[in-house]
Chain A
Amino acid sequence: MTSPTTVQNSQVQHTQRKYSPFKEFWKSFKKQKAALLASIFIGLLIVVAFIGPYIAPYDPFEPNYDALLEGPSASHLAGTDEYGRDIFSRLIVGAKISLMVSFSAVFLGLILGTILGLISGYFGGWIDKIIMRSCDVLFSFPDLLLAIAIVALLGPGINNVIIAVMIFSVPSFARLVRGATLNAKENVYVEAAQSMGASHVRVLWKHIFPETMSELIIFVTMRIGTAILAASGLSFLGLGASPEMPEWGVMLSSGRDYLGTSSHVVIMPGIAIFLTVLAFNLIGDGLRDVLDPKIKNN
């Protein structure tokens, strides 16, 4: 016969098994309607970025001199550009470029910045001073100007834009992670792990890094929006993607000569950039409301 205590224990275990941080996060996150909608939009955009070339109604590179600068219609949903290319198809294919540039730049900045921030906060002393002073130097150039300076050095091109956006992201990540590390390393379990002989790498990876995760997730989301703006801005200035590429900033830049007569050439890529950045910012806001301990406690 099962005793009442055993039943209670099994219930407790059952409840414990059912608890998952992800479920708790999802319960709070789905209440953030704007962020949820934005996440669906970005999800769809990522799918479009992958399957873009297969679903684009027209060849995004093929000129059509019989359909120059046509306005939006049933056959060309977003109209055509100065070479008669279908803008909707170019936007679909361009989604991959914009997302790839911003994701890779932020991801590389995240890796480098996190490593530097963890080392700086955990070890302190002269390593901390060197890393933080180097960040101060990078901080003394406004983000976009630093990116422009780097592209001016390396030359225009999409890969150099990734490097430039990555470099201006590194100090922000490093400073953020350093702050979180300084807090986390005061925890008793970190001391316990150290006294049990855990290596520095293990303490940093297993005990300190997870503590920085929530702040990092929020920041990465916001940063992707900034990266899209910076990358398309550099392309607009003629420092990024080459003119024939269906990159959104390039499309906007080449269309500005036709602003007076065919404004859709400028409006369509602008909407694409705006909605994507807006979506990332809304997700970032939603994540902050859910994950930031200060806001959560309020």
Chain B
Amino acid sequence: MWRYIARRIVEMIPILIVISILTFLFIHFIPGDPARLVAGKDATLEDVENVRHEMGLDKPIVTQYVDYMKNLVTGELGTSLTTGLPVIDMFKTRFMPSLQLTFLSMFWATLMGLAIGVFSAINKNKWPDYFGMVTAVSGISIPGFWLGLLLIQLFSVQLGLLPTGGLDGFSSYILPSITLGAGIMSMIARFTRSSMLETLQADYIRTGRAKGLKERSVIVTHALRNSLISVVTVAGLQFGFLLGGSVVVETVFSFPGMGRLLIDSIAFRDYPVIQSALLLFAFEFILVNLVVDVLYTVLNPKIQLDS
């Protein structure tokens, strides 16, 4: 197993390097002269050249990349063009709220998804199953930004129970996390249902029932536990969906996280922030996928035996 994990980490390195090259080249891919874009339309030629020098764009491209990597390693991500603050300082205040929102969404989505999936499977082709699956397919189809606005309308504007946006204590996380987790919950519910239906056909389930185990024990201890292995993998792999979705949800709720920062930076063409935010998102996504892979290895006895 350790060899497998080590191999996965080694395999990550070239992808990380390519991603770092892509994010480095981001500023060079922008149509037109990046120095002119940063300096502004009305800037004089001298100003543009100064910006070019400040950004290091007058150096050979390989030197620029080496400098970029050196800076990355030391946590020097440049300075925001709009606020003048170091990008790393902006990330420090934005990263944790986003991470907490993502984990909270993942937590409730997994719990609810599992519950709906199991309930649907044990009531196959009955009303609870139809209800569960209609909820699930609706959850996948509903646009996050619309669901968020509907929740604001109901819980904040009409009932006045929760804040409409911003970040002020735990209550500010409730509506954004429901919005963000809805899609994942639905996917987990659908996957749990099909995985449970497959497991419930297994011989050991029949044996369990034949030897007189209580139905609850058969479902929870035997069927659900075995279905969990694949459900955990699917749940983990959906993490990327949450990272992407957080951009939209944070915008709807004016939530001061990384996603909102990215959208604001795009609006103001704050390229150093965009560049580093994209790199951070990609890194986070790769890391989560690695953790999921490792978790799968730990959970699945078959893989442990194979290796």
Point out residues on A near B: beta carbons under 8 Å.
133, 136-137, 140-145, 148-149, 151-155, 225, 229, 232-233, 236-239, 249, 252-253, 256, 259-260, 263, 266-267, 270, 273-274, 277-278, 281-282, 285
**B140 sits at the interface (CB 8 A):** yes
Stretch of B48-56, B73-81, B211-219, B240-248 with 4 or more beta carbons under 8 angstroms from chain A: B240-248
Contact A278 B141 (CB under 8 A): yes
Known: A141-B278, A142-B241. 15 other contacts (CB 8 A): A133-B18, A136-B15, A140-B285, A141-B282, A142-B244, A149-B26, A149-B278, A154-B31, A236-B251, A237-B247, A249-B143, A256-B149, A259-B157, A270-B143, A285-B137
Contact A145 B150 (CB under 8 A): no
**B235 sits at the interface (CB 8 A):** no
**B5 sits at the interface (CB 8 A):** no
Contact B138 A278 (CB under 8 A): yes
Closest B residue to A278 by CB, please name it. B141
**B65 sits at the interface (CB 8 A):** no
Contact A142 B143 (CB under 8 A): no
**B13 sits at the interface (CB 8 A):** no
B153 neighbours in A (Cβ, 8 Å): 259-260, 263, 266
Contact B281 A274 (CB under 8 A): no
**A145, A278, A285: which contacts B247 (Cβ < 8 A)?**
A145
Cα-based distance from A77 to B39 in the complex (angstroms): 49
**B145, B267, B281, B286: which contacts A233 (Cβ < 8 A)?**
B145
13 A-B pairs in the complex with CB atoms less than 8 angstroms apart: A140-B15, A142-B240, A145-B247, A148-B244, A155-B31, A229-B143, A233-B143, A236-B143, A259-B149, A273-B143, A274-B146, A277-B141, A281-B137
Give the size range of B's interface with the partner.
35 or more
Mostly, the B contact residues are: helix
Cα-based distance from A57 to B239 in the complex (angstroms): 44
Contact A148 B149 (CB under 8 A): no
**B113 sits at the interface (CB 8 A):** no
**B19 sits at the interface (CB 8 A):** yes
A153 neighbours in B (Cβ, 8 Å): 26, 29-31
A267 neighbours in B (Cβ, 8 Å): 150
A233 neighbours in B (Cβ, 8 Å): 143-145, 248
A133 neighbours in B (Cβ, 8 Å): 14-15, 18
**B31, B141, B266: which contacts A274 (Cβ < 8 A)?**
B141
